[in-house]
Structure 1
Amino acid sequence: MDPATVGGGGGEPEAAAEWRARAVGGMEYGWYRAVPGGTGTTLLALRLVRGAEAAVAAAAVQAALRAILDAHPVLRARLRGSASGSPTLAFPSAAAPPPPPLALELLPVPESAPDFPSLLEHELNRNPWTAAAATATASEHEPDAPPVLFATLYELPPPAGGGSALFVRIHTAACDRAASASLVRELLAQLSGDGAAAAAGSEPEDAAVRASLEERIPQRDSWKPFWARGLDMVGYSINGLRTSTLPFEVTGTERSTQMLRLGFDRDETTRLLDACKQNGVKLCAAMAAATLLAARQSKLQLASNQQETYSIATLINCRKFLEPALDDHNVGFYHSAITNTHAIHGGEELWELAKRCQDSYTNAKNNKKHLTDIADLNFLITKGSYISTE
């Protein structure tokens, strides 16, 4: 656990309060299964410039995080496993006494991560939910499961530019990519003082406390005949077995996550966007096509024009399709996915493949596959029959 744990408060008043719980939804359960293995952690990283004393800076960050937790009760939740294998999201009662002040300390950077980029990788590889998954037998009435949110504040040394670095790790079952971007904006507003007045008279949003993604999809959009569901599950399973994978070299060392960054300057970005417009495709289709070609070209041992099958999973923010409709301010996991399979032999032209990627995605979305197939994909992912990557 962090020395600076902020999820749920963790103090005696909250521990003694009455907790309410709901069963996790299908997507949330998928992340519950995946996160202990090392994928599915949402990490917010903010570099704060030097402008105040360390104690004052830590106090400001604590106040900002407390405001975020008060505005979004799901961020105070705890994911509880059980011996029966039916996890729940538990929330402190709205009538609970106010939690104690956050004990967020300004920590020195570890020797292995002396600057902000290395600190980012260091935090990516910290997974407080792994140990909890190994002993997931928490009682339904005991708030001893780990919180969904952890925060750490580091003091950057002068060689790294000074100031401080704030890292907020959130279990993806409680916060998707759209919500994380909204939280960053809220945090920045709180730290700058612009968010305090807006938050003063607003009610906490509790969409994720009330229901999961699957419970909010209109029945008219999620229903399909039983035989069609069976055919789709067979199709997804077969495609999963046919799909090629990149080689994974087992070195005997501990697995870790590293960041790979590719930057485009203004001129390069403009040329790319202009090319997309001229070829009638979206940027995401061009990126998908480039990824498919790069994956195929990495297989140097394959013969020329030897075909391989790859799958592309495109995440879709479903908030606007739900009843009632939500927005990115509603924190939780409200993404679904559309998966498309493509046969690649390595000789494709980029823009032709990008058009193929876009057409297959558009056709699936127009047929509402991101809503009708969500239960099928959840089942196959949790059973390990189908693997997709973000």
Structure 2
Amino acid sequence: MATADDENGRILGGTEKAWCRAVTSGTGNTVLGLKLSRSSSETSRLTKILSVLERSHPLLGRKLDYDPAGKTFRFAKPAANPPPEIAFHDGEKTRTLLNNPEKSEIPPLQQIVEREMRAGEIWSDPDSFPRGGVPLIFAAVYALSPSESVVVFRFHTSVCDRTTAVSFLSELLELVSTAEDSGRKPLKNSGEGEAALESLIPSGLTGKGIWTRGKDMLGYSLSALRMTNLEFVNLKMPRKSNLIRLHVNQRLTSDILHVRTPYLFI
């Protein structure tokens, strides 16, 4: 069972640890993309905004560390708290990365989000983590034109799943709208992230069905929302994607093509 926060951070709880082994590549990624009607140069204050968010939500400023001997993951406290690093891509680099997005049927925002979703290699192999761990959040700005840009946040899902991303977005937009107020203070933190979800269940109630089901609902909120949110708002947008959702190797592909038994696909 995960213990409370200490000077070195804390060990991940069961629900959090599940996201470190969620898929074959090793982790779950949460990506939040925003298309802004402003140039990339105007997003320079994003560093200050992220610093405020990290003070309000300390786990965002932690690093994911792994102990091969004990096979345990830990939210490690960095020795120093430098400003969050943000990758800036100018218009030329954006076009190169997206391979001329204006010629694609897939909107640039979707292309960028899908590109970031494929960029989770840094979390995929815990044995390769550097000493002190790896960041849990990355930010990038892509310039689309002199007056448009896309801002993307990529989280390790153990600290921000789809449900939490909605709250993050609301708080982010509020900070953006009041960014001119240099005296803006971070939200007061009342112990968020200091203990794992399992540790918050009152003693003696861990075996109760309601707590078990509640924990599962929180732990699998991404899947729950995917099953309930089935409405497509923009029906005119091309239904295409560059993401590989299932990779079948050559041998299995050959077996599928040569099978004689009829299948019913639903």
Q: Which residue of 2 aligns with 1:168?
A: 153
Deviation at 1:91, TM superposition (A): 2.1
Deviation at 1:153, TM superposition (A): 0.8
With CA pairs under 8 Å and 6+ residues apart, which has the higher RCO, 1 or 2? 2
Task: Indicate the structure (1 or 2) with the bigger Cα radius of gyration.
Answer: 1
Q: Which residue of 2 aligns with 1:87?
A: 73
1:148 to 2:136 alignment: yes
| Greater percentage in helix | 1
Q: Which residue of 1 aligns with 2:20?
A: 32
SS of the residue corresponding to residue 200 of structure 1 reads: coil
Q: Which residue of 2 aligns with 1:276?
A: none
Alignment of 1:215-364 (within 5 A): 215-223=199-207, 263-264=232-233, 301-302=262-263
Equivalent residues, number: 205
The letter of the residue matching 1:215 is S
- Contact 1:31–1:172 (Cα < 8 Å) also in 2: yes
Q: 2:188, 2:182 → 1: CA distance?
A: 13
Which residues of structure 1 form unaligned runs of 5+?
1-17, 230-260, 267-299, 305-345, 347-390
Deviation at 1:19, TM superposition (A): 5.3
Q: 2:27, 2:72 → 1: CA distance?
A: 20
Output one character per residue of 1:350-379: Cα deviation in whole Å (capped at 9) or x when no partner. xxxxxxxxxxxxxxxxxxxxxxxxxxxxxx
**CA 1:47 to 1:264, structure 2 compared with 1: closer, same or farther past 3 Å?**
closer
SS of the residue corresponding to residue 67 of structure 2 reads: coil
Output one character per residue of 1:38-64: Cα deviation in whole Å (capped at 9) or x when no partner. 6521111111112x5x43x13222222
Q: 2:136, 2:186 → 1: CA distance?
A: 26
Q: Which residue of 1 aligns with 2:11?
A: 23
Deviates more, 1:67-76 or 1:123-132: 123-132
TM-score normalized by the length of structure 1: 0.46
The one of 116, 122, 133 equivalent to 1:123 is 116
**CA 1:265 to 1:180, structure 2 compared with 1: closer, same or farther past 3 Å?**
closer
Output one character per residue of 1:192-240: Cα deviation in whole Å (capped at 9) or x when no partner. 11795895264335421x2000001123432269xxx9xxxxxxxxxxx
Q: 1:47, 1:303 → 2: CA distance?
A: 41
TM-score normalized by the length of structure 2: 0.65
**CA 1:22 to 1:39, structure 2 compared with 1: closer, same or farther past 3 Å?**
closer
Pairwise CA RMSD: 3.5
Which residues of structure 2 form unaligned runs of 5+?
1-5, 102-107, 213-229, 236-260
Deviation at 1:82, TM superposition (A): 1.4
Q: 2:234, 2:33 → 1: CA distance?
A: 22
Deviation at 1:185, TM superposition (A): 0.8
